[in-house]
Chain A
Amino acid sequence: MTAAFRMRAARSAARSWPPVLLWGSALAAATFCAIPPVYLMIRAGQDPAAALDAILASSTLPLAARTFALTAAVTALATAIALPMAWLTARTDLPGRRVLRVLAPLPLAVPSYVGALVAISALGPRGLLQQALEPAGVERLPSIFGFWGATAVLALFTYPYLLLTLLPAVAALDPRLEELSLGFGRGRWETFRRVTLPQLRPALTSGGLLVALYALADFGAVSLLRFDSFTRVIFLRYESSFDRGGAAALALALAVVALAIVALEVWTRGRARYHSAHGSTRPAERIPLGRWRWPALGFVVAVLTLALAAPIGVLGYWLVRGIGAGEVLEGVWGAAFDSLLASALASAGAGAIALPVALLAVRHPRFPLTRPTEVLAHTGFALPGLVVALAFVFAAINFGPLYQSLAVLIAAYALLFLPQALGATRVALLQISPSMEEAARGLGRPASRVLTTITLPLARPGILAGAALVFLTTMKELPATLILAPIGFETLAVRVWSASSEAFFARAALPALLLIALSAIPLLLPALSHRRQSTR
């Protein structure tokens, strides 16, 4: 090959590059997402000896083991709740399954620290249950605090992550495979274990990953339930002793644990690749539950009672009692406004960052910058909110005026929840045939006009769904908000937290209820719009 030919080949390869504006903004997004890991490494590297001490301290290993045990237990319990719920509501003749299917994911709207608060106020020492049982001579209940309390609370409020990934997979199960297995004389249980479960494995691992990362990153619930996991120890170090190097080192260690969990999921997924069944044309028969109908309904209702009805009921009780006792409710509306503002800005920000990354990933998958950009954009997925917040503190201090500004908080939200916006935008773009965009360009419209008149209008439902998800998650976010919120900026989450950490349950009730109500809106939207369509 002659040099001249090589040069020509290089030039024509350059011709097929995506527009500079597109890959430039995607690159900027990726650089932005690289801030937390880079700053943590810089910070820990400034005093490597101290950082090493913090990581190698005799307390760190048991801390890591405890955190890992909690993560595993939560994931297992959430699976035990979500798997039967998905199967019962999607595949069987469970009574009331239509209503239950709408209700089942709603506990996602209850932040885990609100769940913990409710559990403590109801089941803790001098809580509602103990007070009710006092006349019967019950002085003490088994302790709600510690490992098992934290596990139960986290599983009850994170199972919807698994449920939501499982539902489409359960609905897409090819009934012919199960019928085949039953036809071979395998029992129902063996069929489930050997035929159904393997088909659900991809959904189980990716949903399980979401639950595990949530449990690993959770700060509010474990703190209220006094379980010393990584996040609580890091926060205490940062807050009380101002040991920022040590906090950074531990945060780095936590980040490594999170990355290890992500790698584990990628590894298991990489070995087992399941293609979705090629169009099972016939909808699956509903499996009759027979005499198991009522026990099954009892199970689903019990879960929803604990995860949905109980929190709302207990909070309502505290609210009424608080109002009766003259509890001041002022300031709540301001906090609700701050929450809405922050969530709206975060979903707009995450959506705006996600768009160029998704466009690059979908339309230019072979471009050399595409893969690294995509990987970096998922930083927020693996890094706990606390870790990202600490990194932004360190970064913002170096950029003086930004420290303690709303912009930094919004930036942290956008980074943390970018993967949610990215996933929804990507799926939406993948559904638009490239020939549609080419047709528009062939009709004389430049790429920018094609984006605004064809691509974005067609992708809008997906982009909005992603924004709604970011909105919901930002509403509930606690640790990053605690660390990064500017003075005087108080979200509902922070208000619930400060009231409940001092056991002022009545004061926490109204903001917690508002938080649940506002977070539920994006979860109910699809069900509502679906109903409107089907009645038409």
Chain B
Amino acid sequence: MTEHPAPAVEARGLRRTFNGAVAVDDLSLEVAEGELFALLGPSGCGKTTALRIIAGFEPAEAGTLSLHGRLMVDRTTNVPPERRGVGMVFQDYALFPHMSVAENVAYGLDDGGQRALRTEEALALVGLTGLGRRGVHELSGGEQQRVALARALAPRPQLLLLDEPFSNLDPSLRSQVRTELRGVIERAGISALLVTHDQEEALSIAGSLAFMWKGRIDQVGRPDEVYREPATVHAARFIGDANIWSFPAEGGRVHTPLGDFAAPDGASHCAVVVRPEDLQVQAGGARGEVMQRQYYGHDQVLFVRLEGGTELRVRLAPHERLGGAGPIALGLRRDPLVLADDGPANRPDDGAADGPEDGSD
């Protein structure tokens, strides 16, 4: 066997509670060397707590953590944050208001001849050359974010942690800054762990992502894997747009208006997940009525009520079937995903199975 470098992050069974409420439960994850990894989940799912445990700002009650093969947390160890060698970018940037841009960036650097040079390098890396003397209040939100990034990168950490780094930015800026961030991380040649509640952000930027739900990791994989094959109903609902119906399983099959499909073994209830783009207009398909059409330019979404009352969304190419309300017949481009949905705790919020589920916010 060839020798692999130790993973940048290796967490096993991390746990943290606040006054009895579990924030992080049996959390295990691995971030490979050089990877940009996203921890994705709705607000309150424990993803920020997980990040804070990795950074050393929050103690773990159980579990172990190693960074680049160095043990940071176990039953008897808790290396303080200043000795973890990790760079962190905070959601509010946490720039020091009493220091200039250059002083902020130089804060983590030790005195010596290299200090000024390294500060300039870090500012250049994020494209802020020449702004070192500015006060942090004189900068725009995007510039502040880049200062926070330069400050975290200046001491040359091997691992960068980012807590919702784009949430304070103007939406029009986000996609540009996202591209820049990825470029900067690649140029710095380091690993990064990013926490976000924005599925679009996670899908577009990350090499791998983990979906977190109620303190636990539901699924880990490449963005396309998690999107195509969500492991749980929550992951399906949260990541991307999906029509999700709840149906009882009978004899190992579920019967839906779009056909019969195999149910997972032993499941008595199933969640049937159909992405809107997996539906197509098909003569002889399930018949229904277009209730509404929303046109987006690059594509369009039809809101359809099938005979029998099931409502669903269909994404079509922009020029396909123009026109408003009227009869329609629908078929599937590929078999839907059928998930066991036996947890009674899950089912009540599935009542709105045919309601619009817009994952993005």
Contact = CB atoms under 8 A, between A and B. Distances in A.
- Most chain B Cβ neighbours within 10 Å, of A444, A454, A458: A444
Nearest to B107: A443
A41 interface: no
A444 B87 CA distance: 9
B268 interface: no
Contacts of B83: 444
Contact of A442 (B55, B62, B92, B97): B55
A433 B59 CA distance: 20
A326 interface: no
A444 B108 contact: yes
Interface in B65-115: 75, 78, 80-88, 90-92, 94, 96-98, 107-108
A457 B94 CA distance: 15
Interface string B193-236: 00000000000000000000000000000000000000000000
Contacts of A15: 59, 78
B81 A436 contact: no
B86 A433 contact: no
Nearest to B76: A11
Contacts of B56: 441-442
A435 interface: yes
A446 B83 CA distance: 9
Contacts of B57: 438, 441-442
- Most chain A Cβ neighbours within 10 Å, of B56, B84, B107: B107
Nearest to A446: B82
B304 to A, nearest CB: 43
Nearest to A460: B98
B59 A442 contact: no
Contacts of A433: 92, 94
B80 A435 contact: no
A445 B108 contact: yes
B60 interface: yes
Interface string B28-59: 00000000000000000000000000011101
A440 interface: yes
A438 B88 CA distance: 9
Q: How large is the interface on A (under 10, 10 to 19, 20 to 34, 35 or more residues)?
A: 20 to 34
Interface residues of B, number: 31
Interface string A208-247: 0000000000000000000000000000000000000000
Interface in A412-454: 433, 435-436, 438-447, 453-454
A439 B80 CA distance: 13
Given A8-B75, A11-B75, A16-B59, A439 B155 contact: no
A9 interface: yes
Contacts of A12: 59-62
B59 A441 contact: no
Given A8-B75, A436-B94, A443 B61 contact: no
A442 B61 contact: no
B96 A438 contact: no
Given A8-B62, A15-B59, A435 B94 contact: yes
B75 A442 contact: no
A439 B55 CA distance: 10
B273 to A, nearest CB: 38
Given A12-B59, A15-B78, A442 B98 contact: no
Contacts of A442: 55-57, 81-82, 84, 86-88, 152
Interface in A476-505: none
A440 B148 CA distance: 11
A8 B74 CA distance: 11
B90 A441 contact: no
B107 A440 contact: yes
Contact of B94 (A9, A439, A445, A447): A439
B151 interface: yes
- Most chain A Cβ neighbours within 10 Å, of B55, B78, B96: B96
Given A9-B61, A15-B59, A444-B155, A438 B78 contact: no
Contacts of B108: 443-445
A139 to B, nearest CB: 67
A445 B80 CA distance: 10
Nearest to A449: B82
Contacts of B155: 443-444
Contact of A435 (B60, B87, B92, B98): B92
A452 to B, nearest CB: 13
Contacts of A454: 96
A67 to B, nearest CB: 45
A447 B82 CA distance: 9
B82 A445 contact: yes
Interface string B257-271: 000000000000000
A12 B75 CA distance: 8
Given A8-B75, A11-B75, A444-B108, A438 B97 contact: no
A441 B98 contact: no
Contacts of B80: 441, 446-447
Contacts of A435: 90-92, 94
A443 B151 contact: yes
A15 B92 CA distance: 27
A529 to B, nearest CB: 17
Contacts of B87: 442-443
A443 B147 CA distance: 14
B57 to A, nearest CB: 5
B94 A458 contact: no
Contacts of B88: 438-439, 442
A447 B78 CA distance: 15
Contacts of A11: 75
A9 B16 CA distance: 10
B82 A8 contact: no
Nearest to A17: B59
Contact of B90 (A16, A438, A445, A453): A438
Nearest to A11: B75
A370 to B, nearest CB: 16
A438 B94 contact: yes
A436 B92 CA distance: 9
Interface string A386-427: 000000000000000000000000000000000000000000
Interface string A446-475: 110000011001100000000000000000
A287 to B, nearest CB: 35
A439 B61 CA distance: 23
Interface in B2-39: none
Contacts of A444: 82-83, 85, 108, 155
Contacts of A443: 82, 87, 107-108, 151-152, 155
Nearest to A440: B107
Interface in A1-32: 8-9, 11-12, 15-16
A412 B151 CA distance: 46
Interface of A: 8-9, 11-12, 15-16, 433, 435-436, 438-447, 453-454, 457-458
Those 9 A-B pairs whose CB atoms lie nearest each other, nearest first = A443-B108, A435-B94, A439-B94, A442-B88, A15-B59, A441-B81, A12-B61, A435-B90, A436-B94
14 contacts: A8-B75, A433-B94, A435-B91, A436-B94, A438-B57, A439-B88, A439-B96, A440-B107, A441-B81, A442-B57, A442-B152, A446-B80, A453-B107, A457-B98
